[in-house]
């Protein structure tokens, strides 16, 4: 990947942003000193430059408001224009920048002369270790390709460094400008074009053009599908070679099907596990193949497992609210699991946005119930979940008042957010590995994408109801109200995370760019109950879909948390273990979920089997 300075930690996780000063308007990208001098005020010397900067800022603000409402709803142009103007209004810093650029450019020119003269000279610019675009030996062995690579990386890094060092811009605005430039620079990489990619040229020659013919066919299929496919859809079928764990749908309403799985152990723990999955994807990421299925792992460890399979909503559910997902979704799932199992209380698990909903539900229950003993959830688990959205990661570049307003207008016009649009946004966050890799290997090399169950699941998108998703974007991401005491009222109750008293097992992922682990660690600041925090290696999906294997491929860190503990201080003290955190979690659950006994019925007269697992909602497109 291209170098992206300070915002990214060595693990690739954005650092929490410095708190940004309040501005008189909702425009978070306003530059300092946006107010003009008072009428009749005298401007002398350095104040003249400041006044010019203020005038330019006001004009840029007006341009931004216009662009937000028409041609640039995602705020791509405005941050770049702000950065350009800021450099022009800081001539001293601009001069220093050009001086450094000139010196480094001259060094690269001399290196180029040496390379072309066939003299041995160590490369001045090398790809980062995780940048696989230039992995083929041709990019190093042959001077013309080596120089093309170096010149591209040189200008890419110079632009990125300049954007991040832009004087006079707030951190968020710098990150937005750097992000969009990085996307454009990634798109212009020489690896993405036939005549500037030595591997593509070589394959075309070796196959006498057959690689280009195959690539054109893949290109046409991608165009027909409306996306750059990461795997072939015909390789997988839900219920056939994915989501095969036996079970039954025991409850269905307009929002979800609740699946109860057939026990895989002779005895099961008394307290059932209810898993609340994210509705921005389908539930079977936790039940892919037999080897990767978290569901099967829990069943084999002697747990009684239920899972939510959310409906793929259309325009008819446009007015479904966040409150409805709580009352008709989580609360109903807990009610049915208790009734069918005969248990007084359950263990609840929330993944991603499902965890955000579960956290809200836990605060709702603790406000609603007269005492802790009446709360129907005895203890709970959160998987890569944000409850404090102060620094929500790379997705922040898409979210400001203007982009959310545009998106909400779009959702209201059709009643939902199309899942493909959200999937495209997440892929854009890692465009080299999730977009351009498949363009190059498919369109230029003529290689069909390999079968990959997780990528198939990622392409199996779902829609979001307009009302619910607007609430989520505004109240969580823009206002961060879930992290504020009593700022939200959900289903008639004020939400205060500090009221939650039930023991918590929380899992974060080291390389998660959707729920950065340092931000998920802030969960520990809100809940006063017993907590066990685990950091898994890998990212948002593979950090969770992390079955035990021999030899161990991954690792995790685990340690006690205490009040005032920062994420980095916890990391220093945490114990590193090889293998899967599933084993630690299973042991923790076994100590919480009661004694072993005969399994409850899969279904009964009150909750009959409505369909075999994986149900019907998961098949809706």
Contact between 456 and 281 under an 8 Å Cβ cutoff? The reply is no
Rounded average pLDDT over 470-483: 95
Contact between 435 and 427 under an 8 Å Cβ cutoff? The reply is yes
Find the distance separating the first CA and the last CA of the chain, reported in whole Å: 34
Rounded average pLDDT over 578-599: 96
Least confident of 10-19, 262-271, 397-406: 10-19
Catalytic positions, written as ranges:
352
Least confident of 91-100, 137-146, 389-398: 389-398
Residues 152 and 52 in one domain: yes
At 24, give phi and psi (nearest 5°): -65, -20
pLDDT score recorded for residue 81: 82
Residues 352 and 251 in one domain: yes
- Decide if 119 is inside a domain: yes
DSSP string across 346-402? EEEEEETHHHHHHHHHHHHHHHHSSSGGG-SEEEEEEES--S--SS--GGGGG-SHH
Q: Which one-letter DSSP state was computed for residue 38?
A: P
pLDDT score recorded for residue 137: 94
Rounded average pLDDT over 432-460: 93
Residues 184 and 271 in one domain: no
596-597 vs 268-269, strand pairing mode:
antiparallel
Strands (E), 278-321: 305-310
pLDDT score recorded for residue 61: 56
For residue 597, how many other CB atoms are within 10 A of its CB? Answer: 12
pLDDT score recorded for residue 403: 85
- Decide if 203 is inside a domain: no
Q: Which one-letter DSSP state was computed for residue 315?
A: G
pLDDT score recorded for residue 53: 53
531-536 vs 504-509, strand pairing mode:
parallel
Rounded average pLDDT over 4-33: 34
- Decide if 510 is inside a domain: yes
- Which CATH number is 542's domain given? 3.40.50.1820
- Decide if 608 is inside a domain: yes
pLDDT score recorded for residue 56: 54
Residues 153 and 270 in one domain: no
Q: What is the dihedral of CA 445, 448, 451, 455, to 10 degrees?
A: 70
Least confident of 93-102, 352-361, 572-581: 93-102
Residues 262 and 380 in one domain: yes
pLDDT score recorded for residue 229: 92
Q: What is the 3-state secondary structure (H, E, C) of 125-143?
A: CCCCCCCHHHCCCHHHHCH
Residues 299 and 171 in one domain: no
Instruction: Flag whether pLDDT at 587 surpasses 60.
Output: yes
pLDDT band at 175 (very low <50, low <70, confident <90, very high): confident
pLDDT score recorded for residue 553: 87
Residues 426 and 500 in one domain: yes
- Beta-bridge partner residues of 495: 488
Rounded average pLDDT over 520-525: 90
Distance CA 395, CA 477 (A): 10
pLDDT score recorded for residue 54: 60
Distance CA 340, CA 247 (A): 14
Residue length, the chain? 621
Whole-number Cα distances in Å, 557 to 323, 378, 562, 571, 575: 35, 25, 16, 8, 5
Choose one of 192, 207, 236: the last residue of a domain: 192
Q: Which two tokens stand for residue 533?
A: 């925090």
Contacts of 37 (CB under 8 A, 6+ apart): 43, 47, 51, 54
DSSP string across 552-598? ---EEEEE---TT--HHHHHHHSEEEES-HHHHHHHHHHHHS--EEP
Instruction: Flag whether pLDDT at 12 surpasses 50.
Output: no
pLDDT band at 36 (very low <50, low <70, confident <90, very high): very low
pLDDT band at 561 (very low <50, low <70, confident <90, very high): confident
Residues 133 and 276 in one domain: no
Distance CA 537, CA 54 (A): 47
pLDDT score recorded for residue 59: 55
401-430 pLDDT per residue, tens: 888 888 899 999 999 998 888 888 888 888
Sheet of 346-351, strands arranged across: 575-578, 555-559, 531-536, 504-509, 377-383, 346-351, 273-276, 305-310, 256-261, 247-252, 611-612
Q: Which two tokens stand for residue 55?
A: 């005038």
Distance CA 609, CA 254 (A): 17
Rounded average pLDDT over 6-35: 34
* Number of domains, the chain: 2
Rounded average pLDDT over 443-453: 94
Whole-number Cα distances in Å, 65 to 71, 137, 385: 10, 48, 33
Residues 484 and 572 in one domain: yes
The rounded percent of the chain whose pLDDT value lies above 70 is 88
Least confident of 33-47, 548-562, 586-600: 33-47
Residues 308 and 372 in one domain: yes
pLDDT score recorded for residue 444: 97
pLDDT score recorded for residue 193: 97
42-52 pLDDT per residue, tens: 444 445 555 55
- Decide if 93 is inside a domain: yes
Residue that wins the pLDDT comparison between 49 and 364 = 364
DSSP string across 438-504? HHIIIIIT-PPPPP-HHHHHHHS---EEHHHHHHIIIIIIIT-GGGSTT-EEETTEEE-GGG--S-E
Instruction: Flag whether pLDDT at 315 surpasses 70.
Output: yes
Rounded average pLDDT over 176-197: 93
Instruction: Flag whether pLDDT at 63 surpasses 80.
Output: no
pLDDT score recorded for residue 48: 52
Say how far residue 487 (Cα) sits from the centre of its chain: 25
pLDDT band at 2 (very low <50, low <70, confident <90, very high): very low
337-348 pLDDT per residue, tens: 999 999 999 999
Domain limits at 111? 46-192
- Decide if 375 is inside a domain: yes
pLDDT score recorded for residue 104: 93
Residues 144 and 51 in one domain: yes
User: Reduced to 3 states, what is the DSSP secondary structure of residue 256?
Assistant: strand
- Decide if 590 is inside a domain: yes
pLDDT band at 191 (very low <50, low <70, confident <90, very high): very high
User: Reduced to 3 states, what is the DSSP secondary structure of residue 509?
Assistant: strand
pLDDT score recorded for residue 6: 34
pLDDT band at 535 (very low <50, low <70, confident <90, very high): very high
Contact between 385 and 278 under an 8 Å Cβ cutoff? The reply is no
Instruction: Flag whether pLDDT at 187 surpasses 90.
Output: yes
- Decide if 218 is inside a domain: no
265-287 pLDDT per residue, tens: 999 999 999 999 999 999 999 99
Residue that wins the pLDDT comparison between 8 and 473 = 473
DSSP string across 92-120? HHHHHHHHHHHHHHHHHHHHHHHHHTT--
Q: How high does pLDDT run on average in the chain?
A: 87
pLDDT score recorded for residue 23: 35
Residues 175 and 253 in one domain: no
Rounded average pLDDT over 35-44: 39
Q: Which two tokens stand for residue 495?
A: 């939400």
Distance CA 212, CA 194 (A): 9
pLDDT score recorded for residue 111: 93
> Which of 170-174, 355-359, 416-420, 433-437 tops mean pLDDT?
355-359
Report the run of H or E that residue 519 belongs to, with start and end: helix 517-520
């Amino acid at each position: 990947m291209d170098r992206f300075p300070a915002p990214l930690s060595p693990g690739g996780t954005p650092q929490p942003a410095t708190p940004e000063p309040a501005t008189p308007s909702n425009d978070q990208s306003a530059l300092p000193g946006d107010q003009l001098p008072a009428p009749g005020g005298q401007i002398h010397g350095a104040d003249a430059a400041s006044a010019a900067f203020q005038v330019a800022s006001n004009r840029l603000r007006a341009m931004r408001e216009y662009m937000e409402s028409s041609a640039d709803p995602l705020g791509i142009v405005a941050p770049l224009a702000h950065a350009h103007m800021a450099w022009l209004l800081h001539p001293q810093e601009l001069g220093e920048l050009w001086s450094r650029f000139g010196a480094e450019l001259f060094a690269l020119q001399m290196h180029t002369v040496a390379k072309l003269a066939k003299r041995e000279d160590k490369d001045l610019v090398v790809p980062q270790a995780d940048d696989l675009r230039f992995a083929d030996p041709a990019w190093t062995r042959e001077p013309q390709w080596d120089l093309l690579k170096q010149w591209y990386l040189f200008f890419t890094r110079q632009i990125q460094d300049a954007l991040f060092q832009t004087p006079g811009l707030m951190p968020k605005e710098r990150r937005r400008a750097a992000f969009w430039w990085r996307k454009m620079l990634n798109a212009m990489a020489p690896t993405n074009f036939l005549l500037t990619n030595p591997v593509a040229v070589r394959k075309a020659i070796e196959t006498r053009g057959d690689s280009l013919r195959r690539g054109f066919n893949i290109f046409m299929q991608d165009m027909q599908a409306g996306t750059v496919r990461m795997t072939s859809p015909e390789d997988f079928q839900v219920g056939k070679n994915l989501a095969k764990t036996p079970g039954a749908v025991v409850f269905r309403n307009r929002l979800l099907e609740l699946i109860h799985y057939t026990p895989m152990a002779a005895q099961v723990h008394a307290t059932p596990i209810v898993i609340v999955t994210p509705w921005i994807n389908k539930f079977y990421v936790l039940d892919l193949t037999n080897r990767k299925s978290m569901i099967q792992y829990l069943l084999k460890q002697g747990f009684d497992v239920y899972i939510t399979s959310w409906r793929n909503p259309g325009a008819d559910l446009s007015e479904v609210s966040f409150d409805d997902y709580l009352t008709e979704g989580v609360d109903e799932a807990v009610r049915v699991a208790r009734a069918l199992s005969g248990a007084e209380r359950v263990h609840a698990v929330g993944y991603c946005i499902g965890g955000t909903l579960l956290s809200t539900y836990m605060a709702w229950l603790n406000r609603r119930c007269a005492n802790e003993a009446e709360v129907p959830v005895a203890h709970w688990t959160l998987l890569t979940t944000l409850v404090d959205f102060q620094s929500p990661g790379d997705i922040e570049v898409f979210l400001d008042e203007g982009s959310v307003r545009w998106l909400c207008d779009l959702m209201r016009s059709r009643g939902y957010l199309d899942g493909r649009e959200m999937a495209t946004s997440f892929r854009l966050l890692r465009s080299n590995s999730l977009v351009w890799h498949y363009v190059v290997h498919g369109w230029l090399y003529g290689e069909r994408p390999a079968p990959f169950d997780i990528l198939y699941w990622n392409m199996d998108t779902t829609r979001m109801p307009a009302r619910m998703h607007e609430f989520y974007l505004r109240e969580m991401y823009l206002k961060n109200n879930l992290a504020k005491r009593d700022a939200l009222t959900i289903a008639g109750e004020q939400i205060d995370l500090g009221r939650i008293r039930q023991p918590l097992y929380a899992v974060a992922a080291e390389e998660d760019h959707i729920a950065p682990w340092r931000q998920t660690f802030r969960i520990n600041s809100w809940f006063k109950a017993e907590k066990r925090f685990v950091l898994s290696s890998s990212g948002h999906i593979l950090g969770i879909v992390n079955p035990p294997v021999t030899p161990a491929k991954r690792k995790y860190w685990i340690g006690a948390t205490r009040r005032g503990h920062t994420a980095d201080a916890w990391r220093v003290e945490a114990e590193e273990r090889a293998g899967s955190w599933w084993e630690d979690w299973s042991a923790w659950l076994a100590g919480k979920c009661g004694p072993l006994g005969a399994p409850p019925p899969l279904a009964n007269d009150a909750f009959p089997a409505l369909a075999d697992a994986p149900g019907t909602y998961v098949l809706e497109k």
